[in-house]
Amino acid sequence: DAVWARDFALNFTAPRRLAERLLPAMRSRGWGRVISLTGNNETHGLNTAGAAKAALTFWSKGAASEVASDGVTVNAIAPGRLWSEQIRNRIHPDEAERARFIADNIPLGRFGDPEELAAVAVFLASERASYVTGTTITVDGGMARAVR
């Protein structure tokens, strides 16, 4: 139970509370953007972080419908594996294993660059995304859609 509580606090409760504190000012201003990082690749085994991120995804959909009439959009980004120190040193430290993982799981054949995720966030935060709300954009090189 402690692991579940910790992962829900980190991956659901904290971002929800932050958004709920900021939403009143956004609504009164008539403009705002809430962008959460969720996920859809935590499907192996019983994964508490995955369940918490699913909760955040569905909270985002509900919040989007509540605040849309006030000019506020609420969206989520579901990142896949992005090339980072964590990937390099902890999750996939062995180069051969990393290459196998990529070949087996990522149709685009590589880990993503963090700047690719940032570009999606910048778009969602912009005026150009004024008609995008209540959705999740997956940035994972096709990993979630791969036929296995």
122: its two tokens: 């910048």
Instruction: List Cα–Cα distances, 40 to 23, 73, 137, in angstroms.
Output: 25, 21, 10
72: its two tokens: 């506020």
Largest separation between any pair of C-alpha atoms in the chain: 53
118: its two tokens: 């940032």
Whole-prediction pTM = 0.90
Per-residue pLDDT of the chain (148 residues; tens, 9 = 90+): 899 999 999 999 999 999 999 999 999 999 999 999 998 766 555 688 889 999 999 999 999 999 999 999 999 999 999 999 988 888 888 999 999 999 999 999 999 999 999 999 999 999 999 999 999 999 999 998 755 5
Architecture of domain 2-145: 3-Layer(aba) Sandwich (3.40)
99: its two tokens: 């290459």
What is the layout of strands, in order, in the sheet containing 72-79? 32-37, 72-79, 136-139
